[in-house]
Amino acid sequence: MEEQIAKLTEDCSAEIASAASESELYSVKVRYLGKSGLISELMKGMRNVPPEQRPAMGKIVNEARSALEARFSARGKELHDKELADRLAAEKIDITIDRNRPVGRLHPLSSVKKRLVDFFVSMGFDVMDGPEVETDYYNFEALNVPKDHPARDMQDTFFIDEGILLRSQTSASQVRYMEKVKPPIKMISPGRVFRNDDDATHSPVFHQLEGLVVDKGITMCDLKGILDMFAKHFFGKDTQVRFRPSYFPFTEPSVEVDVSCAMCHGAGCRICKGTGWIEILGAGIVNRKVLRTCGIDPDEYTGFAFGFGIDRIANIIHSIPHIKLLYENDVRFLRQF
């Protein structure tokens, strides 16, 4: 009997090893270890074993059974792993194929405006929105530009009616704001402006951001401080800021502000037209007359104002060569930002 067991164990082990699949292994298991399997059949032969040997024999059979079960289990796991691995291998796909749910993007002018707004809001600036169709009073007169003043020639304005126009500058929001809010004032007003000017470098519609600070003891140095910080934030840490004397009717003194060219770092290139500097905004100390018009005492308060073109900043940041590209809305353009 012992021999039979040994033979059976050996045969079974061989069949376990050669089983090629989980199902084949299962049928082997049934044949050997099943209720009427070969081991059970063998156990029937126990009757012929002398009673005193039965316990020992039983032990041998049970050990053989356990050993085989362990082998079945080990081989079963092996086959299972292999089959899973084969299946996974067979399920392999081509991951280079794309199925895109495209995600849209903000217009570059929107995202640049948002960055600008975030920058100034973080310093306590309030954001003001003004009408795009504006009165002559807010766009010009209250800003110290009386009718037929030559300064009006600086801006070709679209007119709707007597005294009503498309605002040519976001500075129009200054007076509206100061009529409502008294110092301390920190305000920006981003928005759309219009000028009757349409050529390769001008669009009749563009965007500006006006800034205004009015408080006690505000100086030109404060203007330089904030614009320095602004320039470094937007154009890089090494950016230099240069003030040049200029003229705006609503500021005195007035300056044009240049930043060092981020492309060539001052060496001179196409972007800065060889000068090393890029003109980005106009600014100055709020004209005393404007403060007075808004009911703010210019002997008590001073302020500075600045205004720049969002389109221009966007074009510089993104190296966009023509302002017109911004308003064409070709999706191949819009996808890039």
Task: Please give the residues from 113 up to 152 whose contact with another protein meets the rule CB under 8 A.
Answer: 114, 117, 120-127, 129, 131-135, 147-151
Q: Which residue has the tokens 């965007």?
A: 207
Helices (H), 34-143: 38-44, 54-90, 108-121, 136-139
- Give the 3-state secondary structure of residue 307: strand
Give Cβ neighbours of residue 136 (< 8 Å, ≥ 6 apart): 147, 163, 164, 165
Residues in contact with another protein, counted by CB under 8 A, come to a total of 88
* Footprint on residues 288-317 left by another protein (CB under 8 A): 288, 302
Judged by CB under 8 A, the residue of 15, 141, 179, 228 near another protein is 228
* Footprint on residues 248-287 left by another protein (CB under 8 A): 249, 252-256, 285, 287
* Footprint on residues 48-107 left by another protein (CB under 8 A): 101-107
Give Cβ neighbours of residue 311 (< 8 Å, ≥ 6 apart): 109, 203, 206, 207, 323, 326
Q: Which is nearer to another protein, 9 or 254 (CB)?
A: 254
Q: Which is nearer to another protein, 9 or 260 (CB)?
A: 260
Q: How many CB atoms lie within 10 A of CB 222?
A: 16
* Footprint on residues 160-219 left by another protein (CB under 8 A): 160-164, 166, 184-186, 192, 194, 196, 198, 204-205, 213, 215-219
**Stretch of 10-18, 71-79, 89-97, 329-337 contacting another protein, by CB under 8 A:** 329-337
Least distance in Å: CB of 317 to another protein? 16
Query: Residue 159 interacts with another protein (CB under 8 A)?
Result: yes
Q: Which is nearer to another protein, 55 or 146 (CB)?
A: 146
**Phi-psi bin for 250: left (phi > 0), alpha (psi -120 to 50), beta?**
alpha
- Give the 3-state secondary structure of residue 205: strand
Least distance in Å: CB of 232 to another protein? 10
Query: Residue 237 interacts with another protein (CB under 8 A)?
Result: no
* Footprint on residues 16-35 left by another protein (CB under 8 A): none
Residues 327 and 17: their CA atoms lie apart, in Å, by: 74
Q: Under a CB-based contact definition with an 8 Å cutoff, are residues 279 and 256 in contact?
A: yes
